[in-house]
Chains A and B, each alone.
Chain A
Amino acid sequence: NAGVTQTPKFQVLKTGQSMTLQCAQDMNHNSMYWYRQDPGMGLRLIYYSASEGTTDKGEVPNGYNVSRLNKREFSLRLESAAPSQTSVYFCASSRDNLSYEQYFGPGTRLTVT
């Protein structure tokens, strides 16, 4: 089992460019999450998907969109990147939205210049 995988590992964008971060899990989990990690701020939830076909906003959704493509895949899109979106992005999954344990991917380090 690969667990939670994320692509790409690193990305540099110019302000205004768009990109999609990909996430996939092979644990047959129902719920998936996108977080951003910034120095001194811990992890903040951007969006989550409690089950296939549903998505909901987290704490910091502005500037992002998500797609739950199927049970395995949950993508995060930046339509017009801004320097404030420079961060490390983590995807996570859990058995369902009541489960307390989340499994994290290795992260995508994004720099917006």
Chain B
Amino acid sequence: AQSVTQLDSQVPVFEEAPVELRCNYSSSVSVYLFWYVQYPNQGLQLLLKYLSGSTLVKGINGFEAEFNKSQTSFHLRKPSVHISDTAEYFCAVRRISGGYQKVTFGTGTKLQVIP
């Protein structure tokens, strides 16, 4: 079984400041890793993904994440946040195996950007 831990339920940050949202996972096999964003009153949309290759992945809206296998982490970063980044962010994992593999979501981190 796999699991995802997002330790911070809320992260307040001032506009134009950098931010890091933390994600740790646990799995006995290799996984794909994802970050989804949920804007208020909307569904989730994929922000970025790690499938293989370079451990630094870039997503939409200036976000990036780094896969660290030894730390089993996949932290999300942005060097300078905007008001429009206020949203809830979900880390997710999925096993790399044949057949259907369910996606396990973390509990989410609410990013509040303060003007």
- A residues with a Cβ closer than 8 A to B are 4, 40-45, 48, 50, 56, 58-59, 90, 92, 97-98, 100-107
Give the interface size class of chain B: 20 to 34
A sample of 11 inter-chain contacts (CB < 8 A) reads: A40-B9, A42-B105, A42-B106, A42-B108, A43-B105, A45-B103, A90-B43, A100-B34, A102-B44, A102-B46, A105-B43
A59 to B103 CA separation, bound complex (whole angstroms): 11
Also in contact, A104 and B45, with CB within 8 A (given A42-B107, A43-B105, A97-B100) = yes
Cα distance A4–B45 in the bound complex, in angstroms = 12
Across the interface, do B107 and A40 meet the contact criterion of CB distance under 8 Å?
yes
**Which residues in B have their C-beta under 8 angstroms from that of A41?**
107
Q: Is the CB of B107 within 8 A of A102?
A: no
CB distance from B6 to the nearest CB of A (A): 8
Chain B residues within an 8 Å CB radius of A104: 43-45
- Min CB gap A36→B, angstroms: 11
- Counting residue pairs across A and B whose Cβ atoms lie within 8 Å, the total is 52
Query: Cβ of B45: which chain A residues have Cβ within 8 Å of it?
Result: 103-104
> B57: shortest Cβ distance to chain A, in Å?
13
Alpha-carbon distance between A80 and B68 when the two chains are bound, in angstroms = 46
Question: In the bound complex, what is the Cα–Cα distance between A42 and B107 (angstroms)?
Answer: 4
Specify the chain A residue showing the minimal Cβ separation from B46. Answer: A101
Check A106 against B41 for contact (C-beta < 8 Å).
yes
C-alpha spacing A44/B104, complex, angstroms:
8
Q: Which B residues fall within an 8 A CB radius of A?
A: 4, 9, 32, 34, 41-46, 49, 51, 90, 94, 99-100, 102-103, 105-108
In the complex, chain A residues whose CB is within 8 Å of the CB of B107 = 40-42
Q: When the two chains form their complex, are residues A106 and B42 in contact, meaning their CB atoms are under 8 A apart?
A: yes
Pick from A40, A50, A90, A101: contact of B100, CB below 8 A: A50
Complex interface: chain B residues within 8 A of A4 (CB):
43
Q: Which of B4, B41, B43, B106 has the most CB of A within 10 A?
A: B43
Q: How far is the CA of A106 from the CA of B107 in the complex (A)?
A: 18
Q: Which residues of A contact B46 (CB under 8 A)?
A: 101-102
